[in-house]
Chain A
């Protein structure tokens, strides 16, 4: 990333953050939609494992989204001179999506019955997942473009070496997301299995009661 791709003629070294910021944002949005699709799985089957998958997917996408926002701000400060630019549709729509999904955790937290928590959270995840592309459409039409359109339908407007680096970075971040998702799923499953084992071995007293939490247990 640092040595292979050529320096940007206009922005020089600061342009390198592009290879982290853009994949983070794309993967985060993809993660939100992925969470919505997994939530459909829960609503169809009623199996709480699907809810767990959806929860972890959205949780991870939120973290990636915050990362994208921070790297984006740094880049914006370096290249446009402002931390935040309102007349930029990509920024604004991303912020709206992030704000919407930020309510996912409070929503889960304020429902006590676990069954109902899973169901309502899934309904929310489906609606919010469908909201992502629609929101993009609306906000994009609302304002003019400031972000350079490097990835258009007619193909990437990047020199080949930059395009290759970007593709590698995108795949890398996506794989990081998938890995973290699997890791978190494994951790959650292991924890619930340990609880089950303790309960069978030590009886109900041997297990600390689960406090109310946003995570499905």
Chain B
């Protein structure tokens, strides 16, 4: 809890990571607009654009996640403290989860404004569920990958290199679950259960896995 509060306070004072993520997402929408040469998009394409943008913006946050700890000796301080090591995992992924939620609060309306053809309103509840599940997966995997990458020499390189393939199943499930919600016609009332189930399963499995192995990443 203290680690989480420290991270949030640091972010509130310096505004280092979160604005960068939001700006990055907005710029990506503009690039998609020109890259696809479309004024509005819908359905699976829209879901894909949204998912990829969130993923890449999350990568920025993931790269920064442990940098402050490393540069200012936070790891040592944490190891001296009489707490279980997995609290670091929980705190860091909770922080990343909150960052992602804030990012989406800005990025999703901007997406609807810039690119999305059909109105956002009816899709919002379903999209909320999908994005929360996706954020869970992103934050757990992101924390794990970031903890591995932060001690390597080329950490900005290793992070995305490890993270992207690991996140591919979550990416597929998110895009597929959000696709029918954003369709122009024959809009589904809720996200397809199959994909939500896969996303949830992915979150649970990697949550447990990260919980099991995270201890080893802090032993120093």
Given A130-B209, A134-B205, residue A110 in contact with residue B216 (CB < 8 A): no
Least CB distance from A62 to B in Å reads: 14
Give A119's nearest chain B residue, CB to CB.
Answer: B216
In the assembled complex, B154 has its CB within 8 A of some CB on chain A: yes
Chain B residues positioned under 8 Å from A135 (CB to CB): 168-169
Which of chain A's residues 85-121 have a Cβ closer than 8 Å to chain B? 96-97, 99-100, 103, 106-107, 110-112, 116, 119-120
Least CB distance from B158 to A in Å reads: 6
Given A43-B213, A111-B151, A119-B219, residue A103 in contact with residue B162 (CB < 8 A): yes
By size class, the interface of chain B is 20 to 34
Majority DSSP secondary structure for residues of A touching B: helix
Return the contact of B158 from the options A100, A110, A131 (Cβ within 8 A).
A110
CB 8 Å contact bits of A151-183 with B (1 = contact, 0 = none): 000000000000000000000000000000000
A195 to B153, CA, bound (A): 27
Least CB distance from A141 to B in Å reads: 7
Q: Do B153 and A142 touch (CB < 8 A)?
A: no
Least CB distance from A140 to B in Å reads: 10
In the assembled complex, A126 has its CB within 8 A of some CB on chain B: yes
In the assembled complex, B27 has its CB within 8 A of some CB on chain A: no
Q: Do A131 and B166 touch (CB < 8 A)?
A: yes
Known pairs A110-B154, A119-B217. 10 more at Cβ < 8 A?
Answer: A99-B165, A100-B162, A100-B165, A106-B154, A111-B151, A112-B153, A116-B220, A119-B219, A137-B169, A138-B173
